[in-house]
Structure 1
Amino acid sequence: MSLLDLTPDELLTTTRSVRKRLDLTRPVPLELVKECISVALQAPSGSNRQSWHWIVVTDAEQRAAIGRYYQRAVRTYLESEGSCGSLYPEDPERHSVQQRVGSSVAYLGDRMGDVPVLVIPCLDASAAPEYNEAGKWASVIPAAWSYMLAARARRLGTAWTTLHLMYEKEIAELLGLPEGIVQAALIPTAFSLGTDFRPAVRQPLEQVLHIDSW
């Protein structure tokens, strides 16, 4: 499959969390997922440990089971005070955006088990120093983002999700994860319905940039 004709900046700024535009009916070749993970393995790795592991779930029953846990977690989240729709009440524009995000989160929550491929990046927690929580996650998170960029270039849609971690133990048992292997995210992967994604609305640089001091 040919890659999308995107400049590096276009790839970085248009790789979005895709929820409502995931094609739930089109199979995703496993070889395509492996290509994306191969790219991800070139990401920076703290102390060159590369203590990550990648669980790729394609079995329909396993996907459905994970989807049920995710659906329960999403419903709990959306009922909480800190959910997407309740953020930024003082900023009408951002509040409206967050309400749309909440709608797409609910949509994916009801359909996670139907997504053709679920990718769960994991790390071996025993390989990271206990005193450095940032260093513990600093390898697997860039690698997962590289996976999402590689997927976008191959016309696949993805989304970074972590709500399934409300049921991390149950999902670990379902997938047979060894002791000490922890999950970093749940990344639904499917062909996207269209590839015309655009940069998102973000705060102006001047509001978040600090030079030399706060």
Structure 2
Amino acid sequence: MTYTLDLNPDELLTTTRTVRKRLDLERPVPMEVIRECLEIALQAPSGSNRQTWHWLVITDAEQRAAIGDYYRRAVEQYLAGPGAAGKLHVDDPERGPVQRRVGDSVAYLGERMGQVPVLVIPCLEARTLPAGNQSGLWGSILPAAWSYMLAARARGLGTAWTTLHMTYEQEISDLLGLPEQVRQSVLIPTAYTVGTNFKPAPRQPLDDVLHVNGW
């Protein structure tokens, strides 16, 4: 296996960050490394152990560029809206600057998604989406997607959890020839990182969000 970083489990879990500006857009990513990450992802739990997942790995330059164009358009729409990261908590002296940096990095990746060496889209078989509780459905793919990102981090790769491409889900499905019953979940850009010195991010104090035996 191609382990490149010496991280204990706590370090791996707390330093696997959403990477946008530090993705190396020039360095190729070997397919065997992606396969290693996906083999680990397949060990994740799924509802009733059905394992109805599928993994799209896009390395073709033209397809990446086309997906990148859809993603760029979706990012532009998102950043123009009131809920964009750079517009949240603007008056908060602590969170405001952080959110502005997040907004800048979202815009940066929006312009470059199509240049990222590998795009990974975890999918599920689901001809129709449940009208009510969908937690079981998406709970059958999201842990596996996160496992993929952890495995990538352990190998010196950076990833980002992005969903804005879903604005153009049908167009991307048509582009990639997805069967009608296959649903996309997230779009995970994957590349080697510029440096590997990631660290835990600032978070709310645990006691501010912890509720024991009730609210």
Would the TM-score normalized by the shorter structure come out above 0.5? Answer: yes
Q: Is there any run of 5+ residues in structure 2 with no aligned partner, and where?
A: none
Per-residue CA deviation, residues 44-65 of structure 1 (Å, 9 max, x unaligned), is 1110001110000000000000
Equivalent-residue separation in structure 1 for 2:135 and 2:126 (angstroms): 12
1:21 counterpart letter in structure 2:
R
* Stretch deviating more after TM superposition (105-114 or 130-139): 130-139
Please list, as runs of the form range in 1=range in 2, the aligned pairs for 1:79-118 lying within 5 A after superposition.
Answer: 79-118=80-119
**Aligned residue number for residue 69 of structure 1:** 70
Q: Is there any run of 5+ residues in structure 1 with no aligned partner, and where?
A: none
Matched-pair contact (CA < 8 Å) for 1:74–1:163? yes
Note the C-alpha offset of 1:90. Answer: 4.2
Give the share of equivalent positions with the same residue, in percent.
68
Equivalent-residue separation in structure 2 for 1:128 and 1:82 (angstroms): 26
2:60 counterpart letter in structure 1:
D
**Aligned residue number for residue 24 of structure 2:** 23
**Aligned residue number for residue 134 of structure 1:** 135
- Number of aligned positions between the proteins: 214
Matched-pair contact (CA < 8 Å) for 1:128–1:135? no
Equivalent-residue separation in structure 2 for 1:166 and 1:156 (angstroms): 26
Note the C-alpha offset of 1:127. Answer: 8.9
SS of match in other structure, 1:213: coil
Please list, as runs of the form range in 1=range in 2, the aligned pairs for 1:1-214 lying within 5 A after superposition.
Answer: 1-126=2-127, 131-214=132-215
Equivalent-residue separation in structure 2 for 1:84 and 1:132 (angstroms): 28
2:100 counterpart letter in structure 1:
Q
Note the C-alpha offset of 1:129. Answer: 6.1
Note the C-alpha offset of 1:125. Answer: 1.2
Equivalent-residue separation in structure 2 for 1:45 and 1:90 (angstroms): 41
Note the C-alpha offset of 1:145. Answer: 0.2
1:208 counterpart letter in structure 2:
V
Note the C-alpha offset of 1:204. Answer: 0.4
Equivalent-residue separation in structure 2 for 1:130 and 1:190 (angstroms): 36
Matched-pair contact (CA < 8 Å) for 2:158–2:191? yes
Matched-pair contact (CA < 8 Å) for 1:58–1:117? yes
Per-residue CA deviation, residues 28-47 of structure 1 (Å, 9 max, x unaligned), is 00110010000000001110
Note the C-alpha offset of 1:24. Answer: 0.2
Equivalent-residue separation in structure 1 for 2:176 and 2:42 (angstroms): 22
The TM-score, its normalising length taken from structure 2, stands at 0.96
The TM-score, its normalising length taken from structure 1, stands at 0.97
In angstroms, what is the RMSD of aligned CA positions?
Answer: 1.3
1:199 counterpart letter in structure 2:
P
Note the C-alpha offset of 1:149. Answer: 0.1
